[in-house]
Amino acid sequence: MDDPIVNFSIVTFNRLEMTKKCLFSLKKYTNIPHKVTVVDNCSTDGTREFLLKLREGGLIDNLFLLKKNMGVSCASNFGFDYSPAPLYMKLDNDMEILKNNWIVDIIDLWARNAKVAILGPKLGLGKPYFYSVRLESGDLVDVNKHNLPGAATIISRDVFQTLGYWNEDYGLYGEEDADYSHRAKLAKYLLVSYDSNALLNHLGTEQNTQIDYSDYKMEQRRKNLNPAKGINKFALYCYLYDKGLLSLYCPRRYVPVIRGDDVDFTVDQDFLVRKKFVAACAKTIAAIPPAGFNDTIHSDAFVARLQAMKDAMRVSDPGLRAQEPTSGNAL
């Protein structure tokens, strides 16, 4: 078999019927060399047993059954790392493929244009969300003004050298897609959006899990975007990226320890120091009086104060340091 062009990384947590539609349609309509990597976040509805059968039948190339729900970011990062390929797609298990050779035009656009490194689906979003760019190849593309949804986003592996991983500091379900997109824009990458209407069907949420799943995700988002006090976590990270106080390269919080089919995780100590710095920044910003808040937070003196705090805490900016799966003591 030819070397894979794309590593399709799919994170599952229950939603068995949607997972079936996602995987079977991916198998049916994808005719390029590829790998399918599935990371299950401790499903309890029969999904794990179903995935094991698919691996035995050869439909799944790499399958990992985690012992507990590690969250979307952690599981996605693991799937990204495990099977290197020129392109990586973060494919949600509520996405159904609709068309034969659906991904060929997307890959061709990437191959023709060095500036196209991140592509995501429009998923029904209209013109106000995009602006048009004519590329050197002559292709006219729509670029998202805000952030790409992670549902079927494809990323060149070269981007990893600059941006690293999905941020694992937002909880099980958080703002990792928006965080990644913000860093990508700061790094001058175009967030190219492809027309997905004829290619993908967003299945949504299974009826029997809709209330619990939606409520849980909304609660996670509330904690990140509307805290009881102080600056919200997403705005804080964006501020620290904007001011150069955090590297655009995001390290992993949880580093996998692989022993056969079993996967445990260790906590990356550099990430913990980084997290303590972020928490200290949040506390310092929360202490700014409301009067003159914007002037203070954007002043050179205040940024220098946070930089001095970072230096004192010896926060490591990982830069191009990649973190590979290791052996060692698990949590």
- Residues of the chain with pLDDT > 90, as a percent, come to 75
Q: List the chain domain ranges.
A: 6-207, 233-313
| CA–CA distance, 38 with 56 (Å, rounded to integer) | 13
Write out pLDDT tens, residues 190-223.
Answer: 999 999 999 999 997 655 554 455 555 555 555 5
57 to each of 5, 60, 96, how far by Cα in Å? 22, 8, 20
DSSP 267-315: E-HHHHHHHHHHHHHHHHHHTS-STTHHHHHTSHHHHHHHHHHHHHHT-
Alpha helices in the chain (DSSP H): 16-29, 47-56, 72-82, 104-112, 157-163, 176-186, 210-225, 233-242, 269-286, 293-297, 300-313
CATH for 6-207, among 3.30.1300.10, 3.90.550.10, 3.30.1360.180, 2.60.40.1220? Answer: 3.90.550.10
Q: What is the pTM of this model?
A: 0.88
Cα 129–chain centre separation: 20
Write out pLDDT tens, residues 3-18.
Answer: 899 999 999 999 999 9
Give ∠ CA 211-216-222 in degrees, rounded to 5. 125
Tokens encoding 316: 């490591």
Range of lowest pLDDT (86-90, 163-167, 315-319): 315-319
Yes or no: say if 99 and 194 are a contact pair by the CB < 8 Å rule. Answer: no
